[in-house]
Structure 1
Amino acid sequence: MRDINGERVEQAVASCAALLRTVTDRDWEGANAGRLEWTCHQTAFHIAEDLIAYAAQLAGRAQDDYVPFEITLDDGTDNHGLIHVIETTGALFVATIRTTPPEVRAFHPYPFRSANREGFAAMGVAEVLLHTHDIAEGLGLAYEPPAELPEFVLTRLFPHVQPGPDHWRTLLWATGRGDLPGRAPVTEWRWRNNLVIPTDRLTLQGVTPAAAADLRAGGDGGFVWVEGGPFDGTRKAAEWMMKAYEGGVHRPQWGLFVLVRPQDGRAVGGIGFHGVPDDEGRAEVGYDLAESARGHGYATEALTTLSEWALSRDDIQLLFATIEGDNVPSQGVATRAGYLRASIEEERMAREEHDMDPALQLYVRRKQPLGA
């Protein structure tokens, strides 16, 4: 998957500046920006503040909070000057994105307290597009960004939102700025950067719909893979995830994760859930590795960590994996990760009630009682 993060920020800033230049003779201080309490001038300055703040988070490798600084405008800065500030902070942000390694994550509060360069780029594009819309609404203008920009945002920051036929209207609806036929109005919203779960030697990196679509199409999903990767199971999981996303039922913490070695940034395999937990708190897990990465304990390490993360939640009581009867290595992974072969009765019920293939064996790991 081509790295388009900086390119998309450039496009968004150019789109914003092009619109604002058509109204530099208007009073930006005297008009509120759409539904916001800010004036159009304040909103335009806020765009610049966001761009430089995101650049600072990445450049400074902030881990616990925002970098404690702010920018100000010189007294007497006119509308032309403010546009120049937006373009300049945008250029600094783009340069930061392009020089930040893909494995770097920096602090952002929503929802998992970090984002990588792709996440910050998507947040920057979202801020530019949405606040340009707000300014346009306040000044009575029509604004329509290039279609690839709202799609870029939706497939990276709104994995829980079912895509609509029009990306821009879907993004406006998802952020409480418009209506969408057949969907209830949105009154509260947060975007969602991908979840990353660390292990001793790996990071389990949540796959966005953008990455899953690329994997499904035969691409690399934006990851640098070891020889032989991604393996077939990861591509199949990406296909399932995209079906859930397109159906509006995908929940990112219950999706696909790619196993990445921080030491060299290489992806070695995939792991994840086959969907959200059922009403009884049960969820299915699956995993695979590229052949060149097998024999090092990566799958066991990843499955152990992901299982412990899931079982620590209130909505999970039991995890299970279905494994082919002749796949001894995979059975060993499950056993080492704390899974036990299900009872004959449990396997029988799984075959009858859930149409489990008779060639598969059922392995389960249950939540331990408190104090056990």
Structure 2
Amino acid sequence: MRPINGDHVTEAVAGCTAALRTALDRDWRAVRAERLDWDCHTTAFHIAEDLISYAANLAGGAQDAYVPFEIALDEGTDNAGLLHVIETTGALLAAAVRTAPPGARAFHPYPFRSADREGFAAMGVAEILLHTHDIAQGLGISYEPSEELAESVLTCLFPHVQPGPAPWPTLLWATGRGELPGRAPVTEWRWRNNLVIPAERVTLTGLRPAAARDLRLGGDGGLDWIDGGPFEGTREAAGFLVKAYEGGVHRPEFGVFALVRHEDGRAVGGIGFHGAPDEEGRVEIGYDLTEGARGQGYATEAVRALTAWALAQDDVDTVIATVESDNLPSQRVLSRADFTRATVEEERTARNGQGMEGGLLLFVRRA
């Protein structure tokens, strides 16, 4: 599993046009695409519209809305010409993804009003794969993308969906286009770009399952780290994220975040949640920094930003953190972020009823 990029866009376009080129002699306007209210011609043009829109937003750095323009086909454009338009708009998106800086983000409405270059690549690939499927089903022709393409879309845009026995049937099921044994039919769906939370000098960048898996296995997760890589706690947290994803209980916004420094785009640490909020509205956070980033206030910034975000959610009332009794720097971080030491009774309950290890201190911040 590797992060999705411009090469995936190029591959997806090639698969789309190869499949549809087998039906160039058909009247695409006379055939309805499967499960859509559009005909096959309209659906194919929609692919091109999405690709150029994503390329424009990413390349142009749109922040609040789509870049205000539309494309139109010349009168009399035939099916072959329409495929050329898809190839061209796909090439533009692939180029925009390849040339965008690592931390670049641009407008997309769902769910957090922005996407990075990986997100735009994944959305483009998703539009190509799914709508080529719709057109192929309508025309009665064969089409099936590579498993890697389907898996890349799932891990990037559907981190809330438990992996199935094979990526392509899982993606079709997750978008209401097929059945999956043991799972209820999907009638409503949305993909999910990763959450980013700004702080003063760092951005908390949500990790996707592919990046988390790479970190767990000793890689860099697609990030440029100072000191050669993350501290062990970040790798361990990434492993828990992957386990939650594979188990179908991952809530992406309550996952793990890399701390990416504004000044140079390099990662200096990690922060995240130990899981989704419990029934009492509690959520636990943890954090660490690479050695070269310690003592500079990055952890305090990150804890403040993540805690403020968490307490703004409807299902969170309390944020907690546990710290070793001899870890005075981490205790000072929590104090500066307005956490207070839990009461003796709260710590006793945490040890006896919630499995908190002995020797740990409990810190609390409430809404």
Name the TM tier (shorter chain): over 0.9
Correspondences of 1:147-158 after superposition (within 5 Å): 147-158=147-158
Distance 1:96 1:304 in 2: 34
**1:137-159 CA distance string (max 9 Å, x none):** 10112311011001010001001
The Cα RMSD (Å) is 1.1
Percent of aligned pairs with the same residue?
69
In the other structure, the counterpart of 2:110 is 110
1:276 aligns with 2:263: no
In the other structure, the counterpart of 2:132 is 132
1:226 aligns with 2:215: no
Q: Secondary structure at the match of 1:29?
A: helix
Tell me, yes or no, if the aligned pair for 2:2 and 2:210 is still in contact at 8 Å. no
**1:250-300 CA distance string (max 9 Å, x none):** 001110011001210000000010000000000110000000100100000
Correspondences of 1:257-268 after superposition (within 5 Å): 257-268=257-268
In the other structure, the counterpart of 1:59 is 59
- Any runs of at least 4 consecutive aligned residues in structure 1 with deviations exceeding 6 A, and if so which? none
**1:204-254 CA distance string (max 9 Å, x none):** 001111111111111111111011431100000000111111110100111
Tell me, yes or no, if the aligned pair for 1:133 and 1:143 is still in contact at 8 Å. yes
Distance 1:103 1:175 in 2: 28
**1:309-362 CA distance string (max 9 Å, x none):** 111222111111111111111111111111111111111111111121111111
What letter matches 2:330 in structure 1? S
Give the TM-score taking structure 2 as reference length: 0.98
In the other structure, the counterpart of 2:93 is 93
Distance 1:313 1:128 in 2: 34
Distance 2:290 2:73 in 1: 53
Tell me, yes or no, if the aligned pair for 1:228 and 1:292 is still in contact at 8 Å. no
What letter matches 2:110 in structure 1? Y
In the other structure, the counterpart of 1:50 is 50
Distance 1:297 1:364 in 2: 20
How far off its partner does 1:2 sit? 6.4
Correspondences of 1:1-372 after superposition (within 5 Å): 4-367=4-367
In the other structure, the counterpart of 1:370 is none
What letter matches 1:202 in structure 2? V
Distance 2:89 2:366 in 1: 51
How far off its partner does 1:53 sit? 0.7
**1:3-41 CA distance string (max 9 Å, x none):** 650010011000001101111111111100101011101
Distance 1:209 1:4 in 2: 12
- Segments of structure 2 that go 5 or more residues without pairing to the other structure are none
- Segments of structure 1 that go 5 or more residues without pairing to the other structure are 368-372
Distance 1:264 1:191 in 2: 30
What letter matches 2:175 in structure 1? T
Distance 1:3 1:244 in 2: 19
Distance 1:44 1:250 in 2: 34
What letter matches 1:250 in structure 2? H
Distance 1:139 1:105 in 2: 37
Distance 1:357 1:276 in 2: 20
Distance 2:270 2:281 in 1: 23
How far off its partner does 1:64 sit? 0.4
Q: Secondary structure at the match of 2:244?
A: helix
User: Comparing 196-205 with 309-318, which one deviates more in the overlay?
Assistant: 309-318
User: Comparing 317-326 with 283-292, which one deviates more in the overlay?
Assistant: 317-326
What letter matches 2:42 in structure 1? Q
Tell me, yes or no, if the aligned pair for 1:29 and 1:41 is still in contact at 8 Å. yes
What letter matches 2:152 in structure 1? F
Q: Secondary structure at the match of 2:287?
A: strand
What letter matches 2:221 in structure 1? G
Distance 1:131 1:189 in 2: 15
Distance 2:164 2:27 in 1: 36
Tell me, yes or no, if the aligned pair for 2:34 and 2:135 is still in contact at 8 Å. yes
Distance 2:216 2:343 in 1: 35
Tell me, yes or no, if the aligned pair for 2:32 and 2:138 is still in contact at 8 Å. yes
Distance 2:154 2:325 in 1: 40
Give the TM-score taking structure 1 as reference length: 0.97
Distance 2:309 2:51 in 1: 33
